[in-house]
Structure 1
């Protein structure tokens, strides 16, 4: 069975084959993981498994080219947000042993205890000039440690509002997967953990090893840091297969206005039948539905990015800013600039894109 073994660091290795491989390749990568209380399991697993697969030939999981160490403040097992535990863990090691220290945060409940020992360790690592990686909500720990002043912080769109409310002096970025600022790297989390790990593997070991990991993980290629985060425009379950396929196509082309003739052809039906099915299932025609979907995307961009209203209108496939603003006001009862101002005010609420009612159409 090919398990991820307990932490073994390059500085203390006695494995002869590991040393020979490191000498032959001239490169290795060592990562220390700081696992906070109720850390998010998926981004951690995506990141560390990319390292594991790049570390050895085949799927043998030996820590040869890559080395990883799991650490907690107590040295006890780390319990994730879903209840699964990672063990064994060590207490914090000398930061100088690592090429990167990756901190992974958990559920953002302000009632949770603050791990002051972990924050002190992160400050120690920063003083030692070891690059720090805030993975998923790990970026909140970097902020709490005072290590993100005047820095952009990549954060999931899902946690954007939390960051704005808790840390108004920080600049959150929620329209890309990760940001590499040299000694600070922040990542939105989720599957982007694999993209970031592959990015670092390629930097230290070469593209072939990064691609080897991704292909075994059933990923075609690594997405770059500037790759857009998936937007929250997915609807609930739609039974009608033709309508469901049409929605999927529209979601994939939010930046352009697709004609109904083209949409009907793509899903293998006539425009008349497409319009009839949309009205039966959703109570609205496909053309209006498509426009509302693009407006929903515009609302998300307005709340979670710093793009100008002109840029947002263009990105959502509207011909010009007045055209975008007119339809936006009709849908949401205020202009884009009024909406942005309301959302930025202290205590201001943001319209949740998941439960949006656009021009009277109930959310599915």
Structure 2
């Protein structure tokens, strides 16, 4: 049996505690019960706070943990919950937990975070030079605070082997199911998801954030370029000429744009066009080839390929699901 610790932080979204708790605690039990099979508990789950104190969640609900993190002797997996938007306050409050996290990692525990819980793992230095993710709305904050980490804004979770991070809110459920699969196999994960009526097909934060997270930065010149693209996305755009228009070399343009927004100019333009296409698919009966042309793609097959890359669905499937 694997030992899972949910490190519950003050001001957490309750879902980042309760979701993984239900998933790990149900693995091998709920599906087996419904299918008339022998119960086979896979995880022992402990909810811990810094010193065993009650945790006040974001909604005001009080959670009474089982123990203090410092009383944990053996953990296979430690998941750090969200802690709200003020990560500096969280880091100040939880400074004493950082050596504990480093030690647990050194002892062989896999570390994971949900949403802004990334702040604690990032502060240990264990992710320097590696990739991670968090809620799409906090990407710019984390990129500035932890420049040594490559923050992947689009991904629902990022697996670095011994450290696995996820997006915000209910992305903790996706992370928990992924971890069930890692420890117990794909069939167990699927059974758990089916028993709890959870969707297992989410892979990206794109469908929730659109392109908003690419605009959450302080580079005025890049903001100006993005505003121009917002107005001209349907045109045939030469990015080298666009760089010249804003008095930059193509190389500097690409570097500065990606540094500010987290996406290359081409990727941003593609996402912008796909966002407009999604709205047309949701709200109209316009033929897909006409939508492709409306958003700047003369080649219908190329549009379909790009659309599926960013949504994991064909335009037709997207329309059927969202109209």
Alpha-carbon shift at residue 136 of structure 1 (Å): 1.2
Q: How many aligned residue pairs are there?
A: 232
Alignment counterpart, residue 156 of structure 2, candidates 171, 177, 182: 177
Which of these residues, 139, 150, 175, is aligned with residue 196 of structure 1? 175
Shift of 1:305: 5.8
Matches within 5 A, 1:116-131: 116-131=95-110
Q: 2:268 aligns with which of 297, 300, 312?
A: 312
Q: Give how far 1:173 is off.
A: 1.2
Residues 25, 41 of structure 2: 8 Å contact kept: no
Larger relative helix fraction: 2
Q: 2:25 — aligned with what?
A: 52
Aligned-residue offset at 1:208: 2.8
Distance 1:176 1:165, change over 3 A: same
2:96 and 2:146 mapped to 1: Cα distance? Answer: 21
Question: In structure 1, how many angstroms separate the alpha carbons of the residues matched to 2:26 and 2:260?
Answer: 34
The aligned residue for residue 117 of structure 2 is: 138
For 1:58 and 1:312, the matched residues in 2 are separated by 42
Aligned equivalents of 1:99, 1:170: Cα separation in 2: 24
Contact 1:175 1:305 in 2 (8 A): no
- Does residue 230 of the first structure (1) align with residue 203 of the second (2)? no
- TM-superposed CA distance for 1:215, in Å, is 2.0
Change in 2 beyond 3 A, CA 1:114/1:145: farther
**1:186 alignment partner, SS class:** strand
| SS of equivalent residue, structure 1 residue 179 | strand
Q: Is the 8 A contact 2:20 2:173 kept in 1?
A: yes
Aligned to 1:84: 61
Give the Å deviation of 1:52: 2.0
For 1:41 and 1:302, the matched residues in 2 are separated by: 34
Q: Deviations over 1:30-88 (max 9, x none)?
A: 2111112212222222222111221414597x992221011112112222122112224
Partners of 2:210 and 2:151 lie apart in 1 by 21
| C-alpha contact (below 8 Å) 1:36/1:72 kept by paired residues | yes
Q: 2:145 aligns with which of 166, 172, 177?
A: 166
Aligned residues of 1:302 and 1:312 also touching (Cα < 8 A):
no
Q: What is residue 206 of structure 1 aligned with on the other side?
A: 185
Partner SS, residue 126 of structure 1: helix
- Aligned position for 1:32: 5
Aligned positions of 1:97-108 closer than 5 A: 97-108=74-85
Contact 1:29 1:205 in 2 (8 A): no
Give the Cα separation in 1 of the matches to 2:263 and 2:270. Answer: 11
Distance in 1 separating the partners of 2:79 and 2:41? 19
TM-aligned CA deviation for residue 93 of structure 1 = 5.2
Please give the residue correspondences for 1:238-253 in structure 2 after superposition, counting only pairs within 5 Å.
none
Gap change, CA 1:185 and 1:111, over 3 Å in 2: closer
Contact 1:195 1:222 in 2 (8 A): no
Deviation at 1:303, TM superposition (A): 8.3
Cα deviation 1:118-156 (Å, max 9, x = unaligned): 222111112213111011111111122222211112111
Is the contact between residue 80 and residue 117 of structure 2 (CA under 8 Å) also seen in structure 1?
yes
Give ranges in structure 2 of 5+ residues lacking alignment: 34-38, 212-230, 235-256, 275-291, 298-323
2:308 alignment partner in structure 1: none
TM-score (norm. length: structure 2):
0.62
Residue 46 of structure 2 corresponds to which residue in structure 1?
69
| DSSP 3-state at the match of 1:159 | helix
**CA deviation vs aligned residue, 1:169-215 (integer Å, no higher than 9, x gap):** 33211101000001111111222211111111122222232122222
Tell me if structure 1 keeps the 8 A contact 2:8–2:48: yes
CA distance in 1, matches of 2:53, 2:93: 17
Moved more, 190-199 or 88-97: 88-97
1:91-110 Cα distance to aligned partner (Å, 9 max, x none): 12576622211111311323
